[in-house]
Structure 1
């Protein structure tokens, strides 16, 4: 029993990240959506107006969830927002050519609820422009809401409400995604995986497999490939060790 009680629940392992939000009301509404479903960690990346967490409209739309705003953090970039995260989920209505694996909200919720070693971030983009490709490509999965294809427009807060609802249901009911295998080791953090990509790119340039001046789509394709594997820390270390040995034998070209 003590072991079960010490296992972190999804309610303490889930972070909501809003990137460059334009409207204070949406920030307050997302805070309200989170609180109604039992989640509390909110991070804002470079909101497009000053005083985002104290803005009158944000406070009004939070409607009883002002504590979520009071405890929220504002950071300058996505790297800071993902510190301590080892499973990043980009939420987007737009599919990308080189996106990570695509999941529905329900499949995503089942997967992260069933994996207590995953510290998960749900990442939502700007109301008008969504998430840039460089953020999507560094995530483990892309979450796409299977809305009406003739009218798939969802407000930011509506999308957040849907995601945290599914996560709550999965956390309470013990749902698991059908394809979930589970990790045998510690899941690698986003920062560890980013470091691996940089190291691997250096090695590929050194051996002449990647032309740094004309990289084409090689690195996005490799990122998509590795995103499907759900890398563990030890696996990242192995890949970096391979890159290190390549660079020892083939120093970077000038």
Structure 2
């Protein structure tokens, strides 16, 4: 895994991740929305068109933000897109039964701005289908834009604009009251560290018969939802993995 990035600027610490985008024009429009707010880190996960970044619609809709497209990374999985991140936010108009905590865009932006060690990914789904549950469950929070409940449909680029605007606004309002502190805070656990912890816990719970592989029900999604509310730190992840390791050692002894 790559070492965490070190810049404390919100504009360097936030990446925008578009998952399985169907229309190249939306990619260009998203790049334009980002650039107007000072952001430049765009990642595409399995876009529909292999030449999405060079597509005439993408270039046309970027309208001056072609430099963002030229630096955009295309990857084959959400895991690759989140590499180096320790915080991920899924954007969805549809609430899920086992989603992580639901935040507003303003709450998200304030959190990112006030936590300089946060390396954040803002994850947007396909224009028609949104984000699959498997991707949402990997994220720390679910972002729901408080739109008109009778017509809450937002274009992909519009959603990117809302999130990038709120993040910029948070930077401009640094004079606001600081968030409540719980005292010492360690380094936030990375996405890869947390995924490794879940795999280790699942192995341990299976070994003691608490989790039945042939009938797992919803145990792991519930555990992921529980831990997503805690904003796990690296040391806390290590403690949980130590517990799982001890369970497996005792089981095998």
The TM-score, its normalising length taken from structure 2, stands at 0.94
Residue 107 of structure 2 is matched in structure 1 by 107
Residue 3 of structure 2 is matched in structure 1 by none
User: How do residues 69-80 of structure 1 correspond to structure 2 at under 5 angstroms?
Assistant: 69-80=69-80
Could you say if the C-alpha distance between residues 176 and 194 of structure 1 is closer, same or farther in structure 2, counting changes exceeding 3 Å?
Answer: farther
Residue 159 of structure 2 is matched in structure 1 by 159
Is 1:207 the counterpart of 2:208? The answer is yes
Partners of 2:84 and 2:148 lie apart in 1 by 35
Unaligned runs of 5+ in 2: 1-5
Could you say if the C-alpha distance between residues 177 and 195 of structure 1 is closer, same or farther in structure 2, counting changes exceeding 3 Å?
Answer: farther
Residue 16 of structure 1 is matched in structure 2 by 16
Residue 252 of structure 2 aligns to a residue whose secondary structure is: coil
Residue 50 of structure 1 aligns to a residue whose secondary structure is: coil
Q: Which moved more, 1:204-213 or 1:16-25?
A: 204-213
Residue 25 of structure 2 is matched in structure 1 by 25
1:91: Cα distance to partner? 0.3
1:173: Cα distance to partner? 1.3
Residue 206 of structure 2 aligns to a residue whose secondary structure is: helix
User: How do residues 38-187 of structure 1 correspond to structure 2 at under 5 angstroms?
Assistant: 38-174=38-174, 175=176, 184-187=185-188
Verify the 8 A CA contact 2:43 2:75 in the aligned structure 1: yes
Unaligned runs of 5+ in 1: 1-5
Could you say if the C-alpha distance between residues 11 and 135 of structure 1 is closer, same or farther in structure 2, counting changes exceeding 3 Å?
Answer: same
Verify the 8 A CA contact 1:87 1:140 in the aligned structure 2: yes
RMSD: 1.7
Size of the aligned set, in residue pairs, is: 247
Partners of 1:241 and 1:49 lie apart in 2 by 44
1:58: Cα distance to partner? 0.2
